[in-house]
Structure 1
Amino acid sequence: MEKFEEARNRIIEQNTDSQTLIGMQQTVRRLLSVMYYYEKPMTLNDMMELLDMSKASMSIAVRELEEMGLVKKVSQKAQRRDLYQVEDDNYESFLKYYGYHWRKIIDRKTVSFHESILELTELLDQESLDDETTSKAEKDLAKLHAGLGYFEWLNRLIETFETEEIFDFIPKKDGFTQTGKDAK
């Protein structure tokens, strides 16, 4: 049993390290990995015990994962504390994580680009600009509009994630279940 726990801990660490690629904070990555490999709903106390971290840290990490859709509250009879279950489908986790973060960035950038477009448009309406400044402002304005087109394209890409249309173009790998065994 001890060798299994050592092996599992190594696997969890490897999984946690690989999630560095997707930009999660260490606490959140570790919690997600632990919940994924323990395969059962957990309370904040369970998480605290397994990760040796404070309840406040666990609560913040769970809230972040819940906001992304990677963890959800579940209920079990006779359990009075909140239980949390991790999204155990790797494909679904990927789609939710990137969709969530890309949308946040796109929304913020779209507002910023619209503000810049308004500012440059007002500047171009002034008669006091010299030809060189007018040319530069017009080029910048064109780039901002192209950027908005790019953000629109990214939103459509995210929609293919959310509707799972993406799998029409890039199918999931068939034949393996969550346990890693061939389903056929």
Structure 2
Amino acid sequence: MNELAVLTEEQRVKLNSTRRRVIESIGKNMDLYGITLSIGHLYGNMYFNQEPVTLDEMSETMGMSKTSMSTGMRTLHDLKMINKVWGKGSRKDLYEVVPDWHQNFADFFSIKWRKAVEQNMAALARSLKEIEALKEQYAGETAFVQVLDSDAQKIDEALKYYKWLERLIDSFETGEIYRFIPKE
């Protein structure tokens, strides 16, 4: 049964006004993290649903095309912010929000940070390899080798940072972070 069906029109209007404020806030917050405002609004709308929804239902609710809705749902699913669920008697995919905001934050940043860390560490490793080759090639040119050594040290420091960041990501993924900063 639709939860809003038992409410008066006045109650629905007031409830929707309150929800819109939260949905807008969620959208703006997610926009800060690189998720489009519309996908943030999609998550916010889904957050208040009591039951799983289809693409068609959300498309109608938000006035978005089914293609845009599909892209938004896929983005939220890839970020582990919504789950695809089974619904008895339904042939359409159903989606529901993962309501744990701590887990959403941890998953979102873990996915984004891990990808960035991998890319950056690969670039740094390639540069170190090139520096070593240049040091061999120009072994007799002390000034150039000193510059190369200095650059290698800086890259080593950057690698230490990325290794630390990997441990931070691991702590989010395992939940260990909550031992240091407990959930309320």
CA distance in 2 between partners of 1:163 and 1:39 (Å)? 29
User: Alpha-carbon deviation of 1:6?
Assistant: 2.0
CA distance in 2 between partners of 1:74 and 1:129 (Å)? 66
Task: Give the structure 1 partner of residue 165 of structure 2.
Answer: 154
**Larger deviation: 116-125 or 8-17?**
8-17
Instruction: Tell me: CA distance 1:7–1:127, structure 2 relative to 1, closer, same or farther (3 Å).
Output: closer
Matched, 1:66 2:77: yes
User: Alpha-carbon deviation of 1:129?
Assistant: 6.3
Task: Give the structure 2 partner of residue 101 of structure 1.
Answer: 112
- TM-score scaled to structure 1, two decimals? 0.88
Instruction: Tell me: CA distance 1:129–1:74, structure 2 relative to 1, closer, same or farther (3 Å).
Output: farther
Question: CA RMSD, aligned part only?
Answer: 1.5
User: Alpha-carbon deviation of 1:107?
Assistant: 0.9
User: Alpha-carbon deviation of 1:117?
Assistant: 0.9
Matched, 1:27 2:62: no
Percent identity among equivalent residues?
A: 34
CA distance in 2 between partners of 1:58 and 1:113 (Å)? 38
CA distance in 2 between partners of 1:69 and 1:105 (Å)? 18
Matched, 1:50 2:88: no
CA distance in 2 between partners of 1:6 and 1:85 (Å)? 22
User: Alpha-carbon deviation of 1:56?
Assistant: 1.2
Matched, 1:112 2:123: yes
Matched, 1:77 2:118: no
Q: Structure 2 regions of 5+ residues with no counterpart?
A: 1-11
* SS of equivalent residue, structure 1 residue 149: helix
Runs of 4+ in 1 over 6 A off after TM superposition: none
CA distance in 2 between partners of 1:39 and 1:98 (Å)? 27
CA distance in 1 between partners of 2:147 and 2:46 (Å)? 53
CA distance in 1 between partners of 2:165 and 2:139 (Å)? 37
User: Number of paired residues?
Assistant: 173
Task: Give the structure 2 partner of residue 15 of structure 1.
Answer: 26
CA distance in 2 between partners of 1:127 and 1:18 (Å)? 51
CA distance in 2 between partners of 1:127 and 1:78 (Å)? 72
Q: Structure 1 regions of 5+ residues with no counterpart?
A: 174-184
* SS of equivalent residue, structure 2 residue 48: helix
User: Alpha-carbon deviation of 1:101?
Assistant: 0.4
User: Alpha-carbon deviation of 1:37?
Assistant: 2.0
